[in-house]
Amino acid sequence: MNSLWRPRALGIYFLSFATGVIGALLLPTLSIFFADEIDVSPFWVGIPYAGIALGSIFYNQLLGDWSDRLHDRRLLVLALCVVGLIACAVFALSRDYWVTCLCAIGLLSLAMVSFSQVLAYSLEYAETVIATERIALFNALVRAQIAFAWVAGPPAGFLLVSHFGFTTLYASAAVLFVVVALLTLLLLPALDEHHQKTKPASISFLQLIRGPGGRNLWLCLLALSLMWGVNNAYLISLPLHLTRNLELDTGWVGWIMGTAAGLEVPVMLLSGVLAARVSAMFIVRASGLAGLILYAGIYWADALWQLFALQLANAVFIGILAGLGVSVVQQMLPGRAGSASALYTNTTHVGTLISSALVSSVAEAFGYHSVFAANMVLVLLATLLFFYVRVEKTGAGGERASD
């Protein structure tokens, strides 16, 4: 049977989708939860986002290297889902700013590590079962499940908020954490030890960036962080820009985000196919142009149809970034699935930190509309950084960092 469609691979796809739905329900609605439900200013909205970013970076790096020496990641995913269940219960029951803020920083950020651990499992599966030239396509298929989740997640989240309130939203997310915990044990059997590579010795992030290819690694991580930063700033600012500046109904926010996610799927799959023939880094660099088009368009758009049309550029930008970003990092760290997934996932969290500072400062001073102008500058900088990351071919579709 084709290794891309074995039962274990299908289980990985489904669990990636399920964890993606949780993020798609919680993250886009969090800014409105703090701004409208708890009624705080943009500065205070940015604090929990910054805290989630810092907490996630700490937890991911701590657990990522440690998990590389585990023979079974599933119990770790199970424990993280229990933490997520507790976090959702706090959000559902409390409307105190500091209680919910500390919950987001301490508990939700830890629970979100479950995604990177499912991703680490998929990377180990890829390294041990998938042919080298098909790993990029497999990773793109895994990431495509996240896009599928974002097709349904944001519309469902905003509809739940509009019709039933935030308590129902967080109760639904809590149920999903339970589902993910159970299905992890049912759908992801432990990898056979004779199929696994020798567990690597512990190594710190500083040792990684000081080692061979370290310059390329940290430049790549910085560029990825900036790109995720502008995307997160977009996700935070778009709901409030549309509802307050353009005076659109909240429900349209979910449909716009869902449209982008639906368009991302074919982009991810196509990028995975192309990566077997063209340098993955070349494709990632090209995604920066789509990002510039997106944020310039959002800045000047004043009609609903324009916002929907711009989601094609959004799909190209994020589809390539999400589909190939983890492959680029994985190629730089062969044999370290946990570290690779943690570092890649941490670029999204550093991006959240960047976006929190960006939104808190720019939106507070100039309004949410101006955030998209700042995004144009940062996505251009990220694209330039990618041109300083040198790679060389190692085989069909493969590449590795080169000094």
Whole-number Å distance between alpha carbons of 372 and 230: 8
Q: Cβ neighbours of residue 365 under 8 Å, at least 6 residues apart?
A: none
Give residue limits of the domains in the chain: 3-188+202-401
Percentage with pLDDT > 70 across the chain: 89
For residue range 88-139, what is the model confidence (pLDDT) as tens digits?
999 999 999 999 999 999 999 999 888 888 888 887 888 778 877 787 788 8
3-state secondary structure of 243: helix
Per-10-residue mean pLDDT, the chain, length 403? 78 91 90 89 82 84 75 86 97 95 94 87 80 79 82 86 94 95 84 52 56 77 95 89 84 84 86 84 91 95 93 94 84 70 82 84 88 96 91 46 43
State the Cα–Cα distance between residues 145 and 140, nearest whole angstrom: 9
DSSP H/E element including 246: none
Euclidean distance between CA atoms 64 and 70, whole angstroms:
10
pLDDT attached to residue 132: 76
- The domain made up of 3-188+202-401 has a fold known as Growth Hormone; Chain: A; (1.20.1250)
**CB atoms inside a 10 Å sphere around CB 218:** 16
- How far apart CA 61 and CA 346 sit, in angstroms, is 8
Tokens of 290: 């789509």
